Structures are given as C-alpha cells and as structure tokens.
Amino acid sequence: MPTARQREYLRRSRLLSILLLTAVILTAILLPRGFLPVFDPGTMLGVAGFSLIIVASIILNRRGQVMAAASVFTIGLATAIAGSQLATPSGKIGFEDLAGYDLLVIPLIIAGILLPSRVSILLWIASALFIVLDLGLAQHGASLDAYLPTDIPAFLRVYPVAIYPVILTAVVAVISWLAARSVARALEEADRTAELQQAYALLAEQKRGLEEAIAAIQQVHARVANGDLSARAPMRANDPLLQLTVSLNLTLDRLARGAMSAVNLEAVDQEVAVLSMYIAELAQANLHRPAPTQQLHRLAPLTFGLDQIRTGMLQAIEYTRSLVEQIGADNKTVGQHVQLLAPFVPGEPELIDLIKHGTETVDADTMRLQTYLSRFL
C-alpha cells in the first residue's frame, strides 16, 4: 500500500503527463506562428527549444523521476517564453510584445501544481527581474517609446508598462504558493492520518493477539481446575504473553510430575501393605500361597526374590521331613534289632534298657519334628 506522499507523486506524474500532451498539441498549433505573417526567428527558436524540453520531461516522467521532469518542464517553459520575448521579429519591443510577459504566469501555475511551494516565489522573482531588465535594457518601438515618460531615469521609465505583468505574475505566484502549501499540509496530515491508522491497526492486532493468548490461558486454567494436569498453553512466536505461557507450562510440568510422584508413592504404599501382609503370612508358616506378583508391579523384583525364598524353604522343609522320616524308620529298625538281641545278652540288662530309652527318645523327637514340619507343608 503506497504512502500518501507516494500517491501524491503518482498524481503529479499523471498531471504532468496531461500537461505534456497539452504542450505537444499547443506546440503543434503554435508552430505556424513562427512564419506567419512573417518569419519570426524568436518564435521558431522558442518552439524548437520547448520541443526538446518536452521530450526530456517525458523521458524523465516515464522513468519515475517526477520532480526532475516537472522542474525541466516548468523552467523550460519559462525559458522558452523568455526567449520568444528576447527574439522579437523587429528587434524592438512594441505594444504588441507586452502581452508575451503575461504568459509567464503559465509556468507559475504549473510550478504551484507540480513543484514545492518555494519554487513559485523563486520563479516569480526570476520573472519579475526578467520583465524589468528586458523592458529597461532592450530597444523600444516608436509607439512604446513615445508612450513612456522621458523626464525620469531609464529604469523608471518602464514602470507604466512593467508594473502590470509584474503584479499579475506576483498574484499568480502567491496563489500558486498558497496552493502548494495547502497540498503540502494535506500531505502531512494524510501521512499523519496513515500513521495513526497503522498505529490503530497495530494496536488492534496486538489487542486481538492478547485476547487470544488470554483466552488460551483461561482454557488451560479451566482444564487444570477440572483435574487435567496434561493441559498446556500453546506457544507461538508472536505471542504477547509468551513468557507467561512458558512459565505456566513449566509450572504445570512440575505439578504433573508432583502429582505423578504422589500417585506412584501411593501405589508403592499399597504394594508395601500387600507385601507386608504376605510376609506376615510367611511368618505364620503359610508357605503354600505364592507371592501376589500381579498386585505388586513396582516391587516385582523383591516379590520374585521372596517367592524364590518361599520355594527354597518348602524344598528344604520337604527334604528335612524326608530325612526325619528316614531317621524315624531307622530308629524303629534299631529298636527291633535291640529286642532281637536282648535274649542273647542276659548279663547286660542295663545296656539294653539304655538303648531302648535312646531309641524311644529319638522316636519321640522325630515325631515332634515331623509334626512341626507338617505345619509348613
């Protein structure tokens, strides 16, 4: 989107294009004036010079150099008008040549339209100096010389005829200056208006982004309030609340980790309670129940070790009971052999009683041990 000043340059370029087209048409219309009714070298020179100026201005304007094209066109037009005044057919200034000075208002008007305001004043000063110097230094025709007073200095003699074009160009210059100043002020106000619009647009965009960021954070707060600690605020590059969003997400990460730790700790406490009950059952000789591995996930290695210990104890107790049974059987065999040997040892009754008492004691101990081991099996 071009700025107000760029749009003004484009407008001036289009106006200059129209003026250049008009100048081409007027130059073509004015060309016969150079040799009708008589050959006028000043007019022909002015037309030729102004044609070159038109071509140069067209080229500059097409290249986008609007100010340079307008300056060449305006100054060239003023120079062409001044040149036509200098090169009169008779070489002297007459009443019929005074109207040529009024044509200097044309570049003044064009300067007010296409150029900065100060150019109109500078161009008027140059025009006034040209009018006064040309009328004061050039030769006058008979009718004009007779009209001018002769009892005052040379430069003051031209006052009656010079004052009208000077005043006319001055009025037009002031009007052009005011018009150019008005355009300049309008451009400044348009630029300020555009800047204000851009500022309002930027504020509106920032407000919209801020509202979206606040809405996103509010949604996250609502989800967290409902117990969803996995909620996270979206992070965008142009988020006005990016730092707050990052801090909120980090806080939610810590809360989520804390909540997960609490859940894990509670689960571990429950598994510890189950494991304590299982160990208490093992302490009460309940070795047949296997370890509750399906209920103990985090303590599975410890549970597996306890189950291996339980299995090993069962195997050891089973093996011990078999040994005790074997000892009891051997003890009975020994008692039977002692009874068989008693008739053959009549002189040693005490020895026989001692052996019998030992076998009876061993038998009682093995029975008690079998009873104890049976509690585990």
Give tens-digit pLDDT for 329-350.
777 777 776 666 666 656 566 6
Q: Measuring CA to CA, which residue among 110, 104, 139 is closest to residue 125? A: 104
Binned at pLDDT 50, 70 and 90, residue 257 comes out as: confident
Phi/psi at 140 (5° precision)? -105, 150
* Residue 368 CB-density burial (10 A; 0-12 exposed, 13-18 middle, 19+ buried): exposed
* Band (21; pLDDT cuts 50, 70, 90): very high
Q: Spell out the residues 6+ positions from residue 119 whose beta carbon is closer than 8 angstroms to its own.
A: 71, 74, 111, 180
β-bridge partners, 93: 140
Mean pLDDT of 254-282: 78
Range in 59-63, 131-135, 264-268 with the lowest mean pLDDT: 264-268
What's the rounded mean pLDDT across residues 144-173? 81
Q: In which band, very low, low, confident or very high, does the pLDDT at 304 lie, cut at 50, 70 and 90?
A: confident
The mean per-residue pLDDT over the stretch 187-210 comes to 81
Q: pLDDT at residue 1 above 60? A: no
Residues 199-216 have a mean pLDDT of 83
Q: Coil, strand, or helix at residue 288?
A: coil
- Examine the pLDDT at 371 and tell me if it is beyond 80: no
pLDDT at 198: 82
Residue 288: which pLDDT band, with cuts at 50, 70 and 90?
A: low
Helix (H, G, I), strand (E, B) or coil at 98: coil
49: left (phi over 0), alpha (psi -120 to 50) or beta: alpha
Average confidence score pLDDT of the chain: 79
Mean pLDDT within 138-153:
76
pLDDT bin (cut points 50, 70, 90) of residue 309 is confident
pLDDT at 154 over 70: no
Q: List C-alpha distances in Å: 246 to 82, 214, 250, 252, 340.
A: 76, 13, 6, 10, 98
Backbone angles phi, psi at 93, to 5 degrees: -90, 125
pLDDT at 151 over 90: no
Model confidence pLDDT, tens digit, residues 167-179? 998 999 898 888 8
Sequence-separated (6 or more) residues with CB below 8 Å from residue 325: 366, 370
CB 132 within 8 A of CB 166: yes
Which residue would you say has higher pLDDT here, 41 or 177? 177
